[in-house]
Structure 1
Amino acid sequence: MMAIFAVGLLILLMGIGVPVAWAFAAVLGYLIIAFDVNTVTLLLQGFRSLDHIVLLALPLFVLTGYLMKSGGIAQRLVNFIELMVGRKKGGMGASMVMASGVFGAISGTATAAVASIGTIMVDPLSHRGYPRGYSSALLGMSSLLGILIPPSITLILFGVATRQSITALFAATIGPGLLLLLGLILFNRFCVGRLFNEELLLQESEVDKETKKSGVLVSALPALSMPFIILGGIYGGVFTPTEAAAVAVVVALLIGFFIYRDLTLSTLRKSVVNAAETTGTIVLVLLFSFMIGKILVAERVPQELTEFMTDLVQNPIMILLMVNAFLIFAGAVMDDLSVTVVIAPLCMPLMMSIGVDPVHFGAIVACSVVIGANSPPVAPILYMACRIGKVSIHKAVMPAIYLIVLVGMPVMLLTTFVPSLSLYIPHLLGVM
C-alpha cells in the first residue's frame, strides 16, 4: 500500500508542475521515512548504481545532438532529405519525419531532434500550407524516432536499470522504429489534400536540378557518414555503445570545425553548457530513481505486484494488454525517464513470469514512451514542439491524438504481440 501511495504521490507532484528531480526527491524522502531505511547504506547503493561505464554514453550522445545543430550537420541532413523527397505530394512532411529518424540514429535523444529539426523545418512547412498545429504534432511524434532508432538514451537507461545488453536493446527497436517511420509518412501522405493542401515547389530545369542535387549530395556526405560510422561500429563489434558515443562527439567536432566550419568556439561552449545542464538533470533523476528502486525491491514490491496481477488475471494476452495500458497511462502523466527507470523495472518480473523476453519488454517500453511523451497532460515533447512551432498546444492536441491512435498505438500493439518484430534482428546479429 505504501508503494502504491508513493507512485501516486509521484504522479500528483509531477501533475501539479513540480520539477521532475524534486518530485523524485520528495517520493524518496517519503519512502525512507515510511520504511525506516538506513540512508547511509542507501546513498552508497545509489552512487554505486551510477558507477556504470555505460552511463558515460549519456552526456556524450546529448553533446552530439547539440553539436549537430550548432555545427551545421542537422541543416545538411535536412537539405539532402528534402531534395530527395520534398517535391512529391506530402514530401515536406515526409522530409521532417525522415530527418528526425536520421538525426535519431546519431544523437539518440528526442529533445535535440525537436530543437534541431523543428527549428529548421516548421517555418518552411507553414509556408508550404501545413497548419502549425499539425506540423508541431508531427514533429513531436517523429522526434521520438530517436528513442526507437539506435542509439537511444532511453534504452541505455532501461538497460542499466534492468541489467540488459545495451547492444541487444538497440537492435530490438530497429523494427518498431522503421515501422513507426513508415506509418508517419503514410499518415502524412493521407492528410495532404484531405485535411490541408500542400503547395508544390516550382519545377526547375533538368540542368539546374542535377546541379543542385550534386551540390547538396556532396555537402551532405560528411553528415550522412555519421550514422554509418556509429551503427556500423556498434554492430560490427568495432566499439561499444559508450565508445560509439565518444566517436560521435569527435566526428561531430571534426565535421563542424573543419568541413562545414559552422562550429565556432562560442557555439561549442554553448553546446557544452547545454549538454551539461541536460545531463545533470538526467543524472539527478537517475540517482533518486535508483534509490527508490532499491527500497521497492527490498520491500518485495515487484514480486507482490506480479503475484497480485497473476492472481487477478491468468490470460497472458490480458496481462500484456493491461501492462500496455498501464505504461501508456504512466507515460501520459510522467516523463519518459520516470517510466523507463521506475515503472519498467517494477513490471519486469511480471512480464518475465508470462514468458516475455526482457529485451522484447525493452522494445515495448520504448514504444510506450513514444506515445506517452506526446499524450496530455504532461506531454513534454509535444509542448516543446509547440514552442518550437510557435503555436498553442490546443491546436496540436487533436492532430497528436490522431497520430497516437492511428500510428503510435498500432506500432506498440504489433511490437507487443509479434515478438519477432523486436527479437529477429538481435538474434540475426548474434547479440542475444
Structure 2
Amino acid sequence: MEPIWAILILIVLMVFGVPVAWSFAGVLMFLIWAYDVGTSTLLLQGFRSLDSVILLALPLFVLAGYLMQSGGVARRLIGFMELMVRGRKGGLGAALVLSSGVFGAISGTATAAVASIGTIMVDPLAKRGYPRGYTSALLGLSSLLGILIPPSLTMILFGVVTRQSITALFAATLVPGILLLIGLIIFNRFMAKRFLPDVAEAGAHVPPRDSGGKTFGKALPALSMPVIILGGIYGGVFTPTEAAAVACVVAIFIGFFIYRDLTFRGLWDSFVEAGETTGTIIFILLFSFMIGRVMVAEGVPQDLTRAVAALTENRILILLLVNAFLISVGMIMDDLSVTVVIAPLFMPLMIGVGVDPVHFGSIVACSVVIGANSPPVAPILYMACRIGKVSIHHAITPALQMIFFVALPIMIAVTFVPALSLAVPRMLGVH
C-alpha cells in the first residue's frame, strides 16, 4: 500500500506545482517515515550512485544543447531542411519535423528542440495558413524525436538507473525514432492535402533555387555534428561521455569561428542555463536513487510482479498493461519521473516475461513521447503552445490525432516486434 501512496503523493505534489525535485523529496520523506529507514546509510548510497563517469554525459549534452541554441546551429539546420522540401505541399511542416529530428540527434533533449526550432518556425508556418494549434502539436510531437534519436538524455538516465549499456540504448531507439519522424511527415502531408493551404502557392519563406549551394554550405558544419557524435560512439572512437564533451567543443568552435553567432555573453548564459538544468536533474536523480533503494529493500518490484501475475499470465496482456500504465503515468508525470522511478519498478516483471532490458528501454522512450504530449500535464505540449502563442485547447485535438495515428501504433509495434529495437544494437555489436 505504501508504494501506491508514494505515487499518489508524487502526482498530487506535481499537480499543485511543486518543483519536480522537491516532489521527489516529499515522496522520499514519506517512505522513510513509512518504512522507518535509517537516513545516514541511505544518503551514502544515494551519493555513491551519483558517482558515475557515465552520468557525466548528462550535463555535457545539456550544455551542448544550449550552446547550439546560442550558436545559430538551429537556424542553419532549418534553412537546409526547408531547401530539401521546397515547394511541396506541407513542406514547411515537414521541415519542422526534419529539423527537430536532426537537432535531437545533436542535443538529446526535447525542451531544447522546442525552444530552438519553435521560436524560428512557428510564425512562418502561421503566415502560410497553418493553424497555430496544429503547429504547436506538431512541434510538441516532433521535439520528442530528441528522446528517440540518439544521443538521448532519457536513455542516459534509463541506463544509469537500470545498469544497462548507454551505447546499446542509443542504438535501440534509433529505428523507433526514424519511424516516428517518417510517420509525422506522412501525417503532416495528409493534413496539408486535406485541410491546409497549398504550400507551393503560398510561396513565402521558400528559399530560391539558386541559394541551394549557399544554404547547404551554411548548414554543413551543423550537419557534421551528429555524424561526429554518433560516428565516434559507434565507431569505437570515444564513449558516450567523451562524445558529449566533443559535442560541446564542436558547438563552441562552430558558434564562435564559423557561424560567429556565439558571443561571450551567450557562452556564459549557456553555462548558467546548463548548470541550472543539470542541478535540477541531479537532485531528481539523487532522490530517485534513494527512493529506489527503499523500494528494492522492501521488495516492491517483486510485489508488483506478483500483483500483475495474479491478474494475468498472458504475455501479450502483461505488455499491454505495462504500456497502458506507462502512458497513463506519463500523462501526469514528466519524462524524468517515468524514467528514473517507474521504469525500474517494472524491470523485474519485463525480464520475467522475456523482454530484453534494452528493448524495454525503447518501450519506455516511446511511452514518454505519448505521455509528454497528453493532457492533463503534457509538459512538452504546454511548452510548445507557449512558444506557438496559442491556448492548449486548440492543440489538444491535433496532438491526440498524431498520438493515435502515429505515436501509439509505433509504440505497439516496438513493443511486440523486438527486432525494431534490438536489430541495430546487435548489428553494431554493442548488445
What TM-score does the superposition give when structure 2 sets the normalisation length? 0.98
Question: Partner of 1:286: helix, strand, or coil?
Answer: helix
Aligned to 2:378: 379
Alignment check: 8 A CA contact 1:68 1:74 kept? yes
- AA aligned opposite 1:138: L
- AA aligned opposite 1:251: V
Aligned to 1:312: 311
What CA distance in whole angstroms lies between the structure 1 residues aligned with 2:198 and 2:149?
A: 28
Aligned to 1:404: 403
1:122-133 → structure 2 map (5 Å cutoff):
122-133=122-133
Aligned to 1:148: 148
1:327 to 2:326 alignment: yes
Aligned to 1:418: 417
Alignment check: 8 A CA contact 2:72 2:259 kept? yes
Aligned to 2:4: 4
- Aligned-residue Cα RMSD (Å) equals 1.2
What CA distance in whole angstroms lies between the structure 2 residues aligned with 1:354 and 1:281?
A: 35
- AA aligned opposite 1:29: M
Aligned to 2:15: 15
Aligned to 2:366: 367
Aligned to 2:227: 228
Question: Partner of 2:382: helix, strand, or coil?
Answer: helix
Aligned to 2:338: 339
Per the TM alignment, residue 86 of structure 1 is displaced from its structure 2 partner at its CA by 3.3
Distance change >3 Å, CA 408–CA 43, structure 1 → 2: same
Aligned to 2:78: 78
Q: Deviations over 1:196-234 (max 9, x none)?
A: 224436779xxx945300110111111110000000000
What CA distance in whole angstroms lies between the structure 2 residues aligned with 1:202 and 1:347?
A: 50
Aligned to 2:179: 179
What CA distance in whole angstroms lies between the structure 1 residues aligned with 2:264 and 2:346?
A: 46
Q: Deviations over 1:89-130 (max 9, x none)?
A: 111000000000000000000000000000110011111111
- AA aligned opposite 2:323: N
Aligned to 2:430: 431
1:293-304 → structure 2 map (5 Å cutoff):
293-304=292-303
1:8-407 → structure 2 map (5 Å cutoff):
8-200=8-200, 209-407=208-406
- AA aligned opposite 2:117: I
Per the TM alignment, residue 5 of structure 1 is displaced from its structure 2 partner at its CA by 1.0
Alignment check: 8 A CA contact 1:15 1:377 kept? no
| Aligned-residue identity in percent | 69
Deviates more, 1:138-147 or 1:273-282: 273-282
Alignment check: 8 A CA contact 1:128 1:200 kept? no
What CA distance in whole angstroms lies between the structure 1 residues aligned with 2:426 and 2:185?
A: 28
What CA distance in whole angstroms lies between the structure 2 residues aligned with 1:115 and 1:98?
A: 15
What CA distance in whole angstroms lies between the structure 2 residues aligned with 1:243 and 1:15?
A: 37
What CA distance in whole angstroms lies between the structure 2 residues aligned with 1:126 and 1:163?
A: 45
Question: Partner of 1:217: helix, strand, or coil?
Answer: helix
* Structure 2 alignment gaps of length 5 or more: none
Alignment check: 8 A CA contact 2:90 2:199 kept? no
- AA aligned opposite 1:71: G
Distance change >3 Å, CA 202–CA 403, structure 1 → 2: closer
Distance change >3 Å, CA 115–CA 200, structure 1 → 2: same
Distance change >3 Å, CA 303–CA 264, structure 1 → 2: same
What CA distance in whole angstroms lies between the structure 2 residues aligned with 1:217 and 1:57?
A: 30
Question: Partner of 2:88: helix, strand, or coil?
Answer: coil
Q: Deviations over 1:265-286 (max 9, x none)?
A: 0111111111111111111111
- AA aligned opposite 2:416: F
What TM-score does the superposition give when structure 1 sets the normalisation length? 0.98
Per the TM alignment, residue 69 of structure 1 is displaced from its structure 2 partner at its CA by 1.2
Per the TM alignment, residue 87 of structure 1 is displaced from its structure 2 partner at its CA by 1.9
Alignment check: 8 A CA contact 1:129 1:198 kept? no
Q: After TM superposition, where is structure 1 displaced by more than 6 Å over at least 4 residues in a row?
A: none
Alignment check: 8 A CA contact 2:91 2:199 kept? no
Question: Partner of 1:333: helix, strand, or coil?
Answer: coil
Alignment check: 8 A CA contact 1:176 1:415 kept? yes
Distance change >3 Å, CA 201–CA 240, structure 1 → 2: farther
Q: Deviations over 1:340-374 (max 9, x none)?
A: 00000000000000000000000000000000110
Q: Deviations over 1:298-328 (max 9, x none)?
A: 0000011111111220100000000000000
What CA distance in whole angstroms lies between the structure 2 residues aligned with 1:267 and 1:37?
A: 46
Question: Partner of 2:28: helix, strand, or coil?
Answer: helix
What CA distance in whole angstroms lies between the structure 1 residues aligned with 2:303 and 2:199?
A: 58
Per the TM alignment, residue 84 of structure 1 is displaced from its structure 2 partner at its CA by 0.9
Q: Deviations over 1:144-190 (max 9, x none)?
A: 00000000000000000000000000000011000000000000000
What CA distance in whole angstroms lies between the structure 2 residues aligned with 1:118 and 1:307?
A: 45
